[in-house]
């Protein structure tokens, strides 16, 4: 899952990026509202974390312009502790959730997880379940019939994306755009290797190749 973090306070941004990266997210970081306005519309993010107090263009204005342009990407806003009016304004502008500063980085991670689950129809479910598998984001593990399956970090990221999009044809380019940040070189051969590793560990039928289209997850269990 690929996230955009828009936060001008560098120490906080560094801390959040480190935590989200450990959770298996690909994170792009911007510190200016004008840059965020353009990049948020031009790159296929799964979720955006947006501070409202930004240089260049206020976060509220960025959010309003995104929504006016038809951007439906979930947005989690970061607001000042004392500004209840700012929180209300942000929600009216189209924010999906908010966090009040200061906050613990783990709370942000949990809200990101919950918002992504809700967006994909898994609200209030602590585990992702599909094709006989259970994926626990908090513990970063996958089980089948109570037995844990050992996955690398890259395999976990790929499986999580598949499980959030079951029975959807996902092209290699689509997967690359959503699994890697903007600085990472995207090699479809590497993606193919990770898919083959998942098949070896989970069963050949869990991920099906649709020639000329991409991959589809979870059809064998239906």
pLDDT given at position 58: 95
Q: Say whether both 110 and 11 belong to one domain.
A: yes
What values do phi and psi take at 60, rounded to 5? -60, -45
For residue 123, name the pLDDT band (cuts at 50, 70, 90).
Answer: low
CATH number for 72: 3.40.50.2300
HSE toward the beta carbon, residue 131, CA cutoff 13 A: 24
Q: Is 5 helix (H, G, I), strand (E, B) or coil?
A: strand
At 128-151, the pLDDT tens digits run 888 889 999 878 899 999 899 999
Do the domain assignments include residue 212?
Answer: yes
36 — pLDDT class (breaks 50, 70, 90): very high
State residue 222's pLDDT score. 42
Distance CA 45, CA 3 (A): 6
**Picking from 79-88, 108-117, 136-145, 196-205, which range would have the lowest pLDDT averaged per residue?**
79-88
What local confidence, expressed as pLDDT, does residue 137 receive? 84
| Residues composing the chain | 222
**pLDDT tens digits, one per residue of 48-85:** 999 999 999 999 999 999 999 999 999 999 988 677 88
Same domain as 159, residue 68: no
Q: How many domains does the chain have?
A: 2
As a whole number, the mean pLDDT across the chain is 90
At CA 211, angle to CA 208 and CA 213, rounded to 5?
Answer: 90
Any domain includes 222: no
Pair 147, 98 in one domain = no
60 vs 77: CA distance, rounded Å: 9
Classify the C-alpha dihedral 123-124-125-126 as positive or negative.
positive
CA atoms of 41 and 136, how far apart (whole Å):
31
Whether pLDDT at 205 is above 80: yes
> Could you tell me the end-to-end alpha-carbon distance of the chain, in angstroms, rounded to an integer?
25
146 lies in which domain range? 128-217
């Amino acid at each position: 899952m690929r996230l955009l973090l828009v936060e001008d306070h560098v120490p906080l941004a560094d801390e959040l990026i480190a935590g989200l990266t450990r959770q298996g997210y690909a994170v792009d970081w911007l510190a200016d509202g004008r840059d965020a306005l353009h990049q948020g519309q031009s790159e296929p993010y799964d979720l955006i974390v947006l501070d409202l107090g930004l240089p260049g263009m206020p976060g509220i204005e960025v959010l309003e312009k995104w929504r006016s342009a038809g951007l439906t990407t979930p947005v989690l806003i970061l607001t000042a502790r004392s500004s209840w009016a700012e929180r209300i304004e942000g929600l009216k502008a189209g924010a999906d959730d908010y966090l009040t500063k200061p906050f613990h980085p783990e709370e942000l991670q949990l809200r990101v997880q919950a918002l992504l689950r809700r967006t994909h129809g898994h609200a209030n479910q602590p585990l992702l379940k599909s094709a006989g598998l259970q994926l626990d984001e908090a513990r970063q593990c996958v089980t089948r019939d109570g037995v844990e399956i050992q996955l690398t970090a890259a395999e976990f990221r790929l499986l999580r994306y598949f499980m959030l999009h079951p029975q959807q044809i996902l092209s290699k380019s689509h997967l690359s755009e959503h699994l890697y940040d903007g600085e990472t070189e995207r090699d479809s051969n590497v993606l193919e290797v990770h898919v083959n590793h998942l098949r070896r560990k989970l069963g050949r039928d869990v991920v099906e190749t649709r020639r000329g289209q991409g991959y589809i997850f979870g059809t064998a269990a239906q």
